[in-house]
Chain A
């Protein structure tokens, strides 16, 4: 997906290299090849390619990856805001 790039400098992904055991599960599940193993440790090589889906963090057995996972969907965010203000909405995506 090098042909599609979204807004830069916002992705919240970080890897705790101390905790990382180098199992490479994160490398396997990332749909955008954001993570690679360097010296048997996970390394974020394309931060701006990260869509924060959370697959890597979910599948990390030692909780070495932290990010704010979620669905990048404007109508979802709008619906949440409206709900907070007690405005009824129909479903989103």
Chain B
């Protein structure tokens, strides 16, 4: 019965009508006071098996597919989602449904902004669009941000052209302009899009914060809008994920380190296992933090161009300071600790190349050819020194 009523409700709205969801909320009069006030009654747009997302503000009725209009303010669930994604939880499945959305009260003359279906990206974009009227064409990038998706080939010409067809955008707008974020250009060939769909791609600013100025500036980008940056803040927000990736791969090493550290002149010494195991674990952990936190944060101030070198410098400096603090170490153990800390720091800092917006694959390959053998030799010598030190 409820479904029949809902579909009848739906029929009342002519195509093009905007229905604000907040207006549909009917508070339920409830005299029985157990369990607090009930939630509002379900509205006609809630369908069995589907979830009406909290970021949807209103619906525009359409002959074919209704379009959701999104809110331009983020709420608590968006902030929580962003935080847990930044920390590395549910990071690989944080997405919105691809398709056409709207902002404000879009009409046939409104601009069309193209973006990715990573929810973090989607939120950053809609947050900047308060008071504007435009369309938001969300491509299926499998929950990846625009630049990475363009590099991986999911933010791509073919996906864009297909999405234009499935959303019937050409029937909704009078013009044939698409505003694509500049960093999507790696995956989108503008001339091919035009050939296959008739839409002209205009590359917009790199950052969502510049969209408003770009729209007010007759779709002209300034040099600042076109340039990527890598500020301390931008590096800082990458760090939790770096730590997460590192710790996920390395946790099994610690029991091994304690076991190996116990090997001594009396075959196996529990005391040595504890003391020396503690020291070498600190060395490995420090190498990890130096390569994933310290070197990335201090990136522009550490001398050298190659990331492995930056990691090496950081590793040696902090390694030398560290062995002064761990006073119980012998000379051989000190060398071992410095070598291992430095090698790990160098290796992980080298892996940070994947998170930067300026390293070329040719450059990464060049530095790896030199760095990886050296890092391996350092770990090997460090391990040998560590194992023989009780016998010397």
- A58 engages B203 (CB within 8 Å): no
B39-65 Cβ-contact flags toward A at 8 Å (1 or 0): 000000000000000000000000000
Closest to A27 in B: B226
User: Are A50 and B360 interface neighbours, CB within 8 A?
Assistant: yes
With a CB–CB cut-off of 8 A, which chain A residues contact B13? none
Tell yes or no: B343 within 8 A of A by CB: no
Given contacts A31-B357, A55-B186, A58-B186, A10 and B300 within 8 Å (CB-CB): no
A33 at the interface (CB under 8 A from B): yes
Map CB proximity to A onto B347-368 as digits: 1 under 8 Å, 0 otherwise.
0001101111111111111111
| B191 lies within 8 A of A71 (CB) | no
Main secondary structure of the interface of B (DSSP, over half): helix
Q: Separation in Å of the A87 CB from the closest CB of chain B?
A: 14
> Measured between alpha carbons, how far is A11 from B185 in the docked complex, in Å?
19
Cβ contacts under 8 Å, A30 to chain B: 226
B226 touches A6 (CB 8 A): no
CA of A51 to CA of B364 in the docked complex: distance in angstroms?
A: 10
CA distance A68 to B358 in the complex (A): 15
Chain A positions within 8 Å of B360 at CB level: 6-7, 10-11, 50-52, 72
CB-defined contacts of A53 to chain B, threshold 8 Å: 151, 186
Q: Could you say which residues of chain B place their CB within 8 Å of the CB of A93?
A: 148, 354-355
Chain B 120-149, CB-CB to A under 8 Å as 1, else 0, gives 000000000000000000000000000010
* B185 adjacent to A55 (CB under 8 Å): yes
A54 touches B358 (CB 8 A): no
B168 adjacent to chain A (CB < 8 Å):
no
B357 and A77 contact, CB distance less than 8 A = no
Closest-CB distance, A9 to chain B (whole angstroms): 9
Query: B270-302 vs A: 1/0 string, CB under 8 Å?
Result: 000000000000000000000000000001100
Q: Decide: A1 and B353 in contact? CB cutoff 8 A.
A: no
CB neighbours (8 Å) of B190 from chain A are 25, 59
Residue pair B359, A33 in contact (C-beta under 8 Å):
no
Q: Are A71 and B354 in contact (CB under 8 A)?
A: yes
Chain B hits for A4, CB < 8 A:
230, 299-300, 356, 358
Query: Is A73 touching B364 in the complex (CB atoms < 8 A)?
Result: yes
A77 touches B361 (CB 8 A): yes
Interface residues of A (CB under 8 A from B): 1, 3-8, 10-12, 25, 28-33, 49-55, 58-59, 61, 68-78, 92-93
Partner of B226, one of A5, A12, A31, A50: A31
CA of A3 to CA of B299, assembled, Å: 10
How big is the B interface, by class? 35 or more
Contact residue among B228, B354, B361 (Cβ-Cβ distance under 8 Å from A52): B361
Contacts A29-B182, A93-B148 given; does A7 touch B363 at CB 8 Å: yes
Q: A29's closest neighbor in chain B, by CB?
A: B185
Chain A, Cβ-Cβ closest to B367: A7
Distance in angstroms from A88 CB to nearest chain B CB is 13
4 closest Cβ contacts across the A-B interface?
A73-B354, A72-B359, A70-B361, A29-B185
A77 to B186, CA, bound (A): 19
> Are B358 and A6 in contact (CB-based, < 8 A)?
yes
11 A-B residue contacts at CB 8 Å? A4-B230, A6-B358, A6-B363, A7-B366, A29-B203, A32-B358, A55-B186, A59-B190, A61-B191, A73-B361, A74-B354
Task: Please tell me if the beta carbons of B185 and A59 are within 8 angstroms of each other in the complex.
Answer: yes
B118 CB, nearest partner CB in chain A, Å: 14
Task: Flag if B203 contacts A68 (CB, 8 Å).
Answer: no
Assembled-state Cα–Cα distance A59/B182 (Å): 11
Chain B residue nearest to A13 (CB atoms) is B360
Interface bits B214-251 vs A (CB < 8 Å: 1, else 0): 00000001010011111000000000000000000000
For A3, what are the chain B residues with a Cβ–Cβ distance below 8 Å?
300
Q: A51 vs B186: C-alpha distance in the bound complex, in angstroms?
A: 12
Q: Do the beta carbons of A31 and B365 come within 8 Å of each other? A: no
Contact of A51 among B223, B299, B358 (CB under 8 A): B358
The residue from A28, A51, A74 contacting B357, defined by CB atoms under 8 A apart: A51
Q: Given contacts A53-B151, A68-B362, A74-B351, list 15 more A-B pairs with CB under 8 A.
A: A1-B230, A4-B230, A7-B305, A7-B363, A7-B367, A11-B360, A25-B191, A29-B185, A49-B358, A52-B362, A58-B188, A59-B185, A69-B186, A72-B364, A75-B351
Q: Is B102 an interface residue (CB 8 A)?
A: no
| Cross-interface CB contact of B227 among A32, A55, A58, cutoff 8 Å | A32
